[in-house]
Amino acid sequence: MGKYLQNKRIKRKFKEDIEPQEILLDKLAQKKEEDLGISEKKLEVPLSSKILKVFYSLIIATILLLFLQTFYFQVIQGDVFSQASKDNSLRIHFLRSERGIIYDRNLKPLVSNFASFDLVLDKRDLPENYEEKRKTVETISQIIKKDPQNLQNEIEESESAEILILENIPHETLLLLEPKISELTGFRIEKNTVRDYKDGTTFSHLIGYTGKINQTELSTLEDYSISDYIGKTGLEKFYENILRGKPGKLLIEKDVLGQKKKETLASLPEAGKSLVLYLDSGLQRKIEESLSQMLINVGGRAGVGIAMDPKTGGILSLVSLPSFDNNLFSQGISAENLQKILNDPKKPLFNRAVSGEYVMGSTIKPLIASAALEEKIIDPEREINCQGVISVPNPYDPEIIYEYHDWKVHGLTDIRKAIAESCNVFFYTVGGGYKNFKGLGVERIKKYLNIFGWGQALGIDFPGEKEGLIPDSSWKESRFENPAEKIWYPGDTYHLSIGQGFISATPLQVVTAFLAIANGGKLYQPQVIQKIVESSKNSPLAIEEIQPKIIRENFINPENLKIVREGMREAVIYGSSVILNTLPVKTAAKTGTAELGKNRYHNWVTVFAPYEDPQIVLTIMLESVPGVQAAALPVAKEVLNWYFSPKE
């Protein structure tokens, strides 16, 4: 019978049905209760379930209590606390959160945090008695070695209730100040976190820096105090809200004499999130090293190097030279050093990679070729006979003849050869037209350059991006006052077709456009950040993957882009970029030399590699190089040779 009850189950028809063994057990329980004199009869007594319910109830109650407390302080009593603060009876002190770290793609930290201390004064808490106030200020002056009268003037002239008296208190001063601070009514020491930037000059334009908050920022932003640090430039600025986290709040109630009556923790600080970049820090260092040396060799003033991933739009490297040490700003820069940087004619604070707008020269030609093929202005096999110059009569006075020169005679030239040898006459013809050959014209040129991302912001997750300029007849008419200068001439279109004249683009726009050529037609939005993570004991834990963003695609027939890539490949095999042909992988490239006048030129090259399956698109630009020199190509060669060589 026992064995039967263990193995045999009776199928239930209703959820209220019970098993036979349960009836037997209930009968046994009833018998036991009668023997013991227990009147209540139950099938079972779930004591463990009750305990569990009580336990869960306590947890829920605790969470609810914390929520209600926060809600009470921040919402219900928000106006009360605000008024109390105005009435000088309440102080709100922010509890700083740990700022997030910035990592490269291999999780190498590019920044770190270290503790710092500031001396802050709340004028509302100074002694009302003049003599006591004077003694307090004098004592502070002696400790921090500041003239008492100057400090007194600083206090009196400040319009703010709180004043930052001393930033980054020196260790020796801190040892003297700490034992006495409780006696110095109105003054307090605040612990802070200061950034330390690894290899400051190498990453400064990309990472940016933090600095003390100013009065304008303080008056417009919430939950900041007078001694807070805030992102000022670069990623530190763009991702301020993510990196900073959320400060906690400590409510301090004071009596009429300024003495502390009550202290309440309204909320705890929440640590900032960290960032993982697409950046390859080794590549960044190599580009900086090679570009810096070349600028010295050729007497160049400044330069840019940008590398991107053609499969994602990720920024692998972003170098702008000259650079600066962002540690100078994060840790408090002296007036002397600040003036030295601001007065430097080379403008080291200027991020040329995203904000510099440059004429690009022949770098434009693959884009013009793509437009001409797409609009069927020319087919891939048609040849144009280049004799080194075209002559064009003035449409308003045929007696006047304008000549537009090439850098050499190219002879019969198809579109691939035109890209490979950088033939001006070919692009004058397909861009502006010549004799019976109808070219693209300025409006269609502008249309396609816009499609490739020029003349507009690309939306990079980084501050300071400029749009560049794609000129046309309406722009020229509004730009100039002289009636003759308002006219858009055929020569303007010829110049536009070879990247000369009024046109400008940022290095970021140039490399992004070539991304679409390299990958077969996807124009990616440039992206610096790959992941947002939070700290953990072992390694950063990803909480958000930043997905690649395509601005547009399929705007050029893939077959037409293939022809353009073949032209860029031929530039390496026998044309203008032949020095790249010894690299360990096949590459495709286009150079550019933009004339500035006074024998000065911007020197460009854009390369993608490997040719069959591009992993990197690299743009190098040297600004205002004296004379016609191949300055950018050797830098690109050295960088790519390093990039594709085995690492130890």
pLDDT digits (tens, 9 = 90+) for 152-177: 999 999 988 899 999 999 999 999 99
The answer to whether residue 494 sits within a structural domain is yes
Give the pLDDT band of residue 590 (cuts 50, 70, 90).
very high
Residue 529 pLDDT > 50: yes
| Least confident segment among 114-118, 262-266, 437-441 | 262-266
Whether residues 430 and 537 share a domain: the answer is yes
For residues 246 and 370, membership in a common domain is answered with no
In 10 A of CB 355, how many CB atoms?
16
Does 610 fall in a domain? yes
Residue of 395, 382, 389, 432 whose CA lies nearest to 409: 389
Of residues 3 and 249, more confidence is placed in 249
Q: Are residues 298 and 412 in the same domain?
A: yes
553-570: pLDDT as tens digits: 999 999 999 999 999 999
Is pLDDT larger for residue 200 or for residue 49? 200
SS3 track for 96-150: CCCCCCEECCCCCECEEEEEEEEEEEEHHHCCCCHHHHHHHHHHHHHHHCCCHHH
pLDDT of residue 69: 56
Reply yes or no on whether the pLDDT at 6 is more than 70. Answer: no
Q: How confident is the model at residue 7 (pLDDT cuts 50, 70, 90)?
A: very low
Residue 534 lies in a domain: yes
Q: What is the model's pLDDT at position 314?
A: 99
Same domain, 532 and 627: yes
> What mean pLDDT do residues 486-492 have?
95
Confidence (pLDDT) at 1: 43
| Residue 10 counted as domain residue | no
Q: Tell me which amino acid residue 180 is.
A: K
What pLDDT does 441 receive? 98
What average pLDDT does the chain have?
89
pLDDT at 43: 41
Over residues 241-246, mean pLDDT: 95
Cα separation, 587 vs 569, whole angstroms = 6
Full DSSP string of 604-639: EEEEEESSSS--EEEEEEEEEEESS---HHHHHHHH
> Is residue 164 domain-shared with residue 74, that is, in the same domain?
no
Evaluate if residue 84 carries a pLDDT over 60.
Answer: no
Nearest to 97 by CA among 275, 271, 291, 220: 271
Whether 211 has a pLDDT exceeding 80, the answer reads yes
Task: List, for residues 216-241, the tens digit of each pLDDT value.
Answer: 999 999 999 999 999 999 999 999 99
- Quickly state the pLDDT bin for 261 (edges 50, 70, 90): confident
Domain presence at residue 46: no
What DSSP string describes 451-511?
HTTTTS----SSTT----B---HHHHHHH-SSHHHHS--HHHHHHHHTT-TT-BB-HHHHH
Question: Do 67 and 180 fall into the same domain?
Answer: no
Distance CA 209, CA 333 (A): 12
Which range is least confidently modeled, 84-93, 399-408, 518-527, 537-546?
84-93
Nearest 10 degrees: CA dihedral of 494, 498, 500, 503? 90
**pLDDT confidence of residue 128:** 86
Of 227, 261, 277, the residue that ends a domain is 277
Give CA–CA dist 528/162, Å, rounded.
37
What value does the mean pLDDT take over residues 49-70?
63
E strand or H helix that includes residue 589: strand 588-597
Output the pLDDT for position 257.
64
pLDDT reported for residue 231 = 97
Q: Report the predicted TM-score, pTM, of the whole model to 2 decimal places.
A: 0.84
Rounded Cα gap, residues 486 and 476, in angstroms: 5
Task: Report the pLDDT value the prediction gives residue 521, as an integer from 0 to 100.
Answer: 98
Asked whether residue 440 is assigned to any structural domain, the reply reads yes
Which of residues 254, 277, 300 is at a domain's end? 277
Residue 159 pLDDT:
87
Is 272's pLDDT higher than 70?
Answer: yes
Residues 452 and 535 in one domain: yes
- What is the rounded average pLDDT of the residues 488-513? 98
Domain that holds residue 418: 281-643
Min mean pLDDT across 46-50, 201-205, 256-260, 566-570 is at: 46-50
- Mean pLDDT, rounded, for 486-490: 95
The pLDDT value recorded for residue 48 is 57
Report for 62-66, 130-134, 394-398, 512-516: range of highest mean pLDDT: 512-516
Backbone angles phi, psi at 449, to 5 degrees: -65, -40
Query: Are 83 and 204 part of one and the same domain?
Result: no
CATH code of 303's domain:
3.40.710.10
- Does 363 map to a domain? yes
Helix/strand/coil for 275: strand
Mean pLDDT over residues 419-440, rounded?
A: 97
pLDDT of 11 strictly over 60 = no
Residue of 42 and 327 predicted with greater confidence: 327
What's the confidence (pLDDT) of residue 106? 95
How many structural domains comprise the chain? 3
Who has greater pLDDT, 526 or 335?
526
Question: Does one domain contain both 102 and 208?
Answer: yes
Longest dimension (CA), the chain: 131
Ramachandran region, residue 505 (left: φ > 0; alpha: ψ -120 to 50; beta: rest): beta
pLDDT, position 66: 58
| CATH code assigned at 179 | 3.90.1310.10
How does DSSP classify residue 599?
T
State the average pLDDT over residues 271-284. 97
What was the pLDDT predicted at 93?
Answer: 87
Whether residues 243 and 353 share a domain: the answer is no
DSSP reduced 3-state for 389:
strand
DSSP, res 72 = I
Above 50 in pLDDT, residue 18? no
Contact 330/324 with Cβ under 8 angstroms?
no
Of 230, 260, 277, which residue constitutes the final position of a domain? 277
Ramachandran quadrant class, 311 (left: phi over 0; alpha: psi -120 to 50; beta: rest)? alpha
Question: What is the spatial distance between Cα 320 and Cα 223, in angstroms, rounded to a whole number?
Answer: 34
Residue 563 located in a structural domain? yes
pLDDT in tens, 336-358: 889 999 999 999 999 999 999 99
Q: 3-state DSSP call for residue 285?
A: helix
Same-domain pairing of 248 and 322: no
470 and 561 fall within a common domain: yes
Residue 232, φ and ψ in degrees, nearest 5 = -105, -35
